[in-house]
Amino acid sequence: MDWLKKVSKKPLFLPLVSVFLVLIINVVYDAIQGNYVFEFLKFELKEGALYGRIIDILNRGSEAAILAIGMTLVVSSSAGTDISVGSVMSLAGSLCCMLLAGFGVTHVREIGELQMPIFVGVIAGIAVAGLCGLFNGFLVAKMKIQPMVATLIFFTAGRAIGLLLTNNKMVYIHLEQFKVFGGKLWIFPTPTVIAAVCILIMTLVLKTTSLGMYVQSVGINPKASRIAGINSVAIILLCYVICGLFSGVAGIVATSRIYSADSNNIGLNLELDAILAVALGGNSLGGGRFNLAGSIIGAYTIQAITTTMYALGVAKAQAPVYKAIIVILIVVVQSPAVKAYFAHRKAQKEGGLAVAGRS
């Protein structure tokens, strides 16, 4: 079983096993329901767009995948999580809608024309999300505040600021040029295409620059990195800004999907999905080495789990409970105490075999 030990040590082993387990559950469920056993993977072209359970997972999981990119860098560099990403999404979407509808408008339905170009609202929404990330990064990197405490500020205030911008009203943008970000591009769901572009850009940045190495170095030992000439404050700050920018992108996608600024619900509980995606991707929540591909697989696995739970009859309000249980299990498995226990058991077993061999 040496091959199994080697495979189990691969970075993508845990996320791929999770995907396999979700697939098995869906196959069993479809078989029990009398459907085609691989209904989960089936897709078709209807009315000029792709449809199917797997397409729906790729579409609905796009926001979590985009958030997972920034969350991976934050966790790796600061050994902490950014719990404000969902609220920052809401803030970015609210600002975008208010700019497009015009400030001072308290309730917008079927507006005849945009008050400013689409790109202005989109860029402004993403920019304000980047500023939120900059603020979070300043508190963590410069002020040395624990990440969860630092990001708790915008976790609480982000939605409230969005509600202030929209005068505590729903702001609707019923225009096709705005809906495109949450609609379709040719035959593909636009959110999936946007997620793919974000992943590609971040992958190219990590492959063509030393950012990935610097992030991991700072996450493993910030003092040693500083001695080696790496500006750990700047690296952590940059990671939080990147996380904020991707939160803004996810916010625009989520807002366009429902063509309105629903500050109370946009990005709700998505911070849990982003954190779980990083953990499920085989990344340590204690910082250091990271695997971006694992986080992306983890994000879509979570959406697959959510879709499967809905198919099995689990209520939407109960879904976060099961996700929380998964987070607890993953964190416990990755804890130093559990790792030390299994390492000790392995050493004892190898020691016993060595003694038996000599006798």
CATH number, residue 181:
1.10.3470
Structural domain containing residue 101: 59-353
Task: Examine residue 52 and state whether it is found in any structural domain, yes or no.
Answer: no
Model pTM score: 0.89
CA distances from 162 to 70, 169, 288, 311 (A): 21, 10, 34, 33
Q: What is the mean pLDDT of each run of 10 residues along the chain (359 residues)?
A: 69 78 82 79 82 90 96 96 96 91 59 80 96 97 95 94 85 84 90 96 95 94 89 96 97 92 89 90 87 93 86 78 75 74 78 59
State the pLDDT at residue 352: 62
Task: Examine residue 3 and state whether it is found in any structural domain, yes or no.
Answer: no
State the pLDDT at residue 30: 82
Q: How far apart are CA 338 and CA 320, in angstroms?
A: 25
State the pLDDT at residue 73: 97
Task: Examine residue 42 and state whether it is found in any structural domain, yes or no.
Answer: no
Q: How far apart are CA 171 and CA 2, in angstroms?
A: 59
Task: Examine residue 29 and state whether it is found in any structural domain, yes or no.
Answer: no
- The strand ranges marked E within the chain are 43-46, 49-52, 171-172, 184-185, 188-189, 260-261
Q: Please give the tally of structural domains in the chain.
A: 1
Task: Examine residue 10 and state whether it is found in any structural domain, yes or no.
Answer: no
Question: Going by DSSP bridges, is the β-strand pair 49-52/260-261 parallel, antiparallel, or unpaired?
Answer: unpaired
State the pLDDT at residue 326: 73
Task: Examine residue 154 and state whether it is found in any structural domain, yes or no.
Answer: yes
State the pLDDT at residue 104: 55
Q: Which two tokens stand for residue 342?
A: 């299994």
State the pLDDT at residue 340: 81
Task: Examine residue 48 and state whether it is found in any structural domain, yes or no.
Answer: no
Task: Examine residue 89 and state whether it is found in any structural domain, yes or no.
Answer: yes
